Structure 1
Amino acid sequence: MTDQTSTLAELGLFTGAPQHDNFCRLGSLLPTRELTPSSTPHQWRTGDTIDLPDTYEFAGETKSFEDFFVGTDTAALLVLEDGVIRHERYALTGGPEVPWISMSVAKSFVSALVGIAVAEGHIKGIDDPISDYVPVNPGSAYDGVSIRNVLQMSSGARWNEDYSDPTSDVFQLNAAMAGVGTLDDFVAGVIRENEPGTLCRYNSGDTQALASLVVRATNRSLTDYMQEKLYEPLGMTSPGAWLLDAAGMEVAFAGLNMTARDFAKLGELYRNGGEWHGNQVVPEQWVRDSVVPDAPYLQPGQPIVGTHRFEFGYGYQWWIPAGDRGEFSAIGVYNQFVYVDPTANATVVKLSSNRTYGTTDSESTNHDHETGAFIRAVINALRN
C-alpha cells in the first residue's frame, strides 16, 4: 500500500466520519502542485453586513437556517453583491485564509480552461473528437466522442457516481489517484455504454478526460496553465494547490484547494460574462454556452447522479437550477457550492464537510438540493 493510498483510507471519506479537520489541510497530506498568489491581488471590498434569514423553505417545510448551517458542517459562507462582501461567516476549521478542498467545484475551473484553450487555438473546436488529443484505447468510451459531449457529461461512458457504493466507478477513479495505475490510464480504458449525446450521466471521469485534453493540447500542466490564465488575472490572494496522482497528473475532477474568497472569483467572473475588470479572461460566448442546458437530456431533472435524477440541469461542467433567474452553480460533494444569481448580482460560496454525505445515495443525507434552497434564501435576503 502506498503512502497516498494509506492517507486516503485513513480519511474515511463517505463513512460518516467528521472531515472538517481534513478538508482544510489535504494539500499538506497528499502530493500537490502549487498555485502562487497573483502579482496583482484583488481584495474584495466590504459593504454593510446583511442579516440572514432565520428560516428557509424546502420540500414544503419551514426549516431552521442555523440548524442547516451547523448540521452540514459548514466551514465558510461568503455572500457577494456586485463584487462586495455583504456577509462572511466561518466555523469549525474554516477561515478567510484557510484553503479548502473543492471536490467537484474543480470541474467548473477545468471547463473555463478548456474554453480558454479553444479561444487560443490549442483546441480547434469542441465538436472535435477528444481522442484527437487524448490517447485512449480503441473502442473505449472516449474514442471518437466529441469534446462537447464530454463537457456536458454526455459521453456515453458506463459510470456510477454513487459515493455510498465502494465498488462504484468513482471509487475506482479515486484508486487511480492513489497509485493503482494512473488517472490517464483510467481515462484511456473507460467502457462505453450509451450513444454519446443522448443521456446526461454525471461522470467524474469525463472531467479527468477534459483535464488530459488541456494538458495535451497546451503541452503544459493543468496547474501551470491555470496559474497563467486564471489564478494570475483574477488576482487570487492566497496560495492554492492541485492534488496529484502518483504520476504527477492533477486530480482534476475534485482536487483543487483554495480559499472561499478565491473560489468566489470564478463565480464573479462568470456572472460578468467572463470579463474581469476590463480583461476578457474567458470568452463571453463560452460563458453563455456553459450555463445553458441546450438539449432535452440536459434540462433540470434529467441528469443522472449515481442512482437518482438531479433537480438541476447541466451545461459545460456547471449545474443550472430550474427557473427563470439564470442561476448556475459549481457543486461538489460534501456540499461545496459556488452559486451565482445574475438577477441579484450575487455570488454565494458555501464550503462544507457534511459528515453524512455519501453514507447513502439520497437527498436525506447528501442535502444537495436543500443546499440550493438554503442559498436561495440567502440571496432573497440580499434582494430584500
Structure 2
Amino acid sequence: MTRPADKSPQQAAPLEPNLDAPSDLGIMVGFPPPPEKRVTLANMMAPGHLRWSFMNQSRLFPTTRVSRGEEAIVPFGDGQQLDVDGLPIAFEGNDEFPMQDFYRRAGVDALLVVHRGEIVFERYFGDMTASTLHALFSCTKGFVGLLIEWLVQEGEIDRNASAGTYVPELQGTALGEATVQQLMDMQAHFDFSAFPPRVPGQVQVGYLAALGFIDGGPDYAGPEGVYEILATNTATEPHGGAFRYDNGSTDMLGWILRRTAGKSLDRLIGDRIWSKLGAEHDASFFIDLGGTEWAAGGLSMTARDLARFGEMVRCNGMFNGTQIVPDGVIAEIRKAGNRDIFEGDPMSYPGGSYHNQWWFFHDEFDSFAARGQFGQRLWIAPTAETVIVQFSTDPDPTGSEEPLRLAAWQTIARALAS
C-alpha cells in the first residue's frame, strides 16, 4: 500500500460547528467536482470538509467490512415519540437553553434516542441519513474493551498478565510490560520515539499520519501502520496510578485480541456481535498502511446499528431475546473506574471515571459512554432505560462541549422518566 505524495497534513482550524449539508456547499458535487470542492486525504481535515469526510470514510481510505451476516434484520419498535426539539436544556444555570441551539453548537449530524428498546426520537441533519455509515472514531474503543473482557472471562486472556505475554515481540518494552488491565483502564505510561510526546487534548497528528489516516507528505519517513508504531514505544514513568488517555493502549489491546483469537478485528466483531444483532447494514473498519484495522478508532456504522449495540449493552448482553454477550462481561464493565485517579487529565471531567475502555459519569442515571473524537457518542443510562446515539462534526478536539452534551442527554432522560 503506497502513501499518497500530496500536501502535508492539515488539521481542522477552529470554526463554529454548524448544520450545513456538504452537498449544499457544493462539496464533492459534480462529475468531476470542481477542484476547490474536492475532498482528498490532504485536505479532509480542513474546515468545511470534515462533515463529508466523516460520512464517506470508504471513499477516502481502504476499509474492510464488518459483516452483519445472513440473519434477518431485527427492526426497532416505534415507541411513544418524545418532542426532543422542544426540550429546554438545564445548562450553566440556564433552564431554557434551546435544544436547537445544542444541535448547532455541537455540530450534530444524527441524534437517535431509544427508550425501553424502542425508538422515541430520530433526527438526521444535512446529508446524513438512516443508512449512512458515520465514523465512530474512539467509540470503537468500547467494542475493543468489551471483546478483551469477554476473552478474559473465557480464560483466554489474563487481565493481570503483561501485554508482552501475548505479543512477545514487545517484551521488555514499556507497552510490553504494561498489564492488560492497565491498558484497558488507560493507566499505561509510554511515548513513541517516532513522534513528539503526546499533548493531552490534542489530535495525535504524527500517529494519524503513520496510520495513513492523514497524509504525512512526500518527505514522511516514519513508521507505517500500527504494528510499526507500537514497536517504537519508549518508557516514561511506571505504569499504574494516573489516568493517561492514549490510542496506543487500545491499539496494543487490538494486537492482543488478534493474537489470542486468531482473527482480525473485523472478523471478531462480525462473528461475535454484529452477525447476531440483526443489524441493518454491514459496518466498516478503516485499514492502516500495513493492512490492519485501526482498533483505537476505525469503525464506521449507522446510528440505528450503533443503537442496537448500545441497547444490547444496556440489557446486560441480551438483545431480541438472545444472550449475545455474557452478562458477566457487561457487569465487569459497569463496575466503573477509580474516580480518584481520573481528575487532572484534559480528557477527563469532574466526578467521572474510566474502566475497560468506557467512560463513566456517576450521575443519577448510572450512565456510561463510548466516546469518540469530534463528538461521536454512545450514551447508556441504565436507570433511565435509555440509549442515545449522537454523531457529530464538532471541530474542537478539546471536547469543550462535553458538559453541554451531557446536559442535553440528561435532559432527554429526565423527560422520559417523567
TM over 0.5, shorter chain: yes
Q: Flag the 1:288–1:161 CA change in 2: closer, same or farther, 3 A.
A: farther
Find out whether 1:257 has 2:286 as its counterpart.
Answer: no
Residue aligning to 1:105: 139
| Aligned equivalents of 1:118, 1:378: Cα separation in 2 | 35
Q: Does 1:26 align with 2:62?
A: no
- Paired position in structure 2 for 1:146: 179
1:381 paired with 2:418, answer no
Look up the equivalent residue of 1:77 and give its one-letter code: L
Aligned AA for 1:304? D
CA pair 315-239 structure 1, distance change in 2 beyond 3 A: same
2:29 is aligned to none
Say whether residues 1:88 and 2:116 are aligned partners: no
The separation in 2 between residues aligned to 1:161 and 1:370, in whole angstroms, is 24
Q: 1:221: Cα distance to partner?
A: 0.6
Residue aligning to 2:334: 291
User: What letter is aligned with 1:126?
Assistant: R
Pairwise mapping of residues 153-172 of structure 1 onto structure 2 (< 5 A)? 153-158=186-191, 160=198, 162=200, 164=202, 170-172=204-206
Do structure 1's residue 64 and structure 2's residue 107 form an aligned pair?
A: no
Question: Is the 1:73–1:92 Cα contact (8 Å) retained in structure 2?
Answer: no
1:75-102, Cα deviation, whole Å (9 max, x unpaired): 1110001110001011012111110000
Query: Could you say which residue in structure 1 is the equivalent of 2:352?
Result: 312
Compared CA separation, residues 271 and 18, structure 1 to 2 (3 A) = same
Alpha-carbon spacing, 1:127–1:24, altered in 2? closer, same or farther (3 Å)? same
Aligned partner letter, 1:247: G
CA spacing shift, 1:324–1:224, aligned 2, 3 Å: same
Q: Is 1:326 equivalent to 2:357 in the alignment?
A: no
Q: Shift in Å at residue 18 of structure 1?
A: 4.6
> In structure 2, which of residues 248, 256, 274 is the aligned counterpart of residue 205 of structure 1?
248
Report the 3-state secondary structure (helix = DSSP H, G, I; strand = E; otherwise coil) of the residue aligned with 2:190: coil
Matched residues in 2 for 1:297 and 1:261: separation?
Answer: 35
- 2 CA distance for matches of 1:39 and 1:232? 7
Amino acid of the residue matched to residue 157 of structure 1? F
Highest CA radius of gyration, 1 or 2?
Answer: 2
Q: Distance in 1 between matches of 2:119 and 2:111?
A: 11
Q: How many residues align?
A: 368
Tell whether 2:403 aligns with 1:369. yes
Q: What is the aligned partner in structure 1 of residue 68 from structure 2? A: 37
For the residue of structure 2 that corresponds to 1:191, the secondary structure is strand
Instruction: Check conservation: 2:339, 2:351, Cα contact below 8 A.
Output: no
| Shift, 1:205, TM fit | 1.0
The CA distance in 1 between the partners of 2:414 and 2:349, in whole Å, is 26
Secondary structure, aligned partner of 1:89: strand
The percentage of aligned residue pairs carrying the same residue is: 24
Residue of structure 2 equivalent to 1:223 = 266
Shift of 1:192: 2.4
User: Match for 1:34: what amino acid?
Assistant: R
Contact 2:310/2:380, CA 8 A, preserved across alignment: yes
Query: 1:55 touches 1:64 (CA, 8 Å); kept in 2?
Result: yes
Find the counterpart in structure 1 of residue 3 from structure 2.
Answer: 2
The DSSP-based 3-state class of the residue aligned with 2:177 is coil
With over 3 angstroms needed to count, the CA separation of the structure-2 counterparts of 1:38 and 1:334, relative to structure 1, is same
Letter in structure 1 aligned against 2:161: D
The separation in 1 between residues aligned to 2:290 and 2:391, in whole angstroms, is: 29
CA gap of 1:141–1:369, structure 2 versus 1, over 3 A, is farther
80-89 vs 371-380, greater mean Cα deviation: 371-380
CA distance in 2, matches of 1:324, 1:164: 30
Partner of 2:148: 114
CA deviation vs aligned residue, 1:277-331 (integer Å, no higher than 9, x gap): 34332232221221333434455xx26246x756531111111013242111111
Q: Distance in 2 between matches of 1:145 and 1:318?
A: 19
Query: Whole-Å Cα distance in 2 between the matches of residues 4 and 325 of structure 1?
Result: 49
Give the secondary structure class of the aligned counterpart of 1:340. strand
Q: Does the 8 Å contact 2:352/2:359 carry over to 1?
A: yes
User: Which deviates more, 106-115 or 288-297?
Assistant: 288-297
- Secondary structure of 2:175's aligned partner: coil
Deviation sequence 1:96-133 (CA, Å, 0-9, x none): 1110000111000111121232344432x211111111
Q: Aligned pair 1:175/2:200, yes or no?
A: no
* Alpha-carbon contact 1:328-1:341 (below 8 Å) kept: yes
**Contact 1:291-1:314 at 8 Å conserved across structures:** no
SS, match of residue 253 in structure 1: coil
Match of 1:273 among 313, 316, 326: 316
Deviates more, 1:208-217 or 1:33-42: 33-42
The question of whether the paired residues in 2 share the 8 Å contact of 1:289 and 1:315 is answered with no
CA contact (8 A) 1:173 1:186 kept: yes
Structure 2, gaps ≥5 residues long: 8-39, 192-196, 217-222
Deviation at 1:362, TM superposition (A): 6.2
Q: Does 1:48 align with 2:89?
A: no
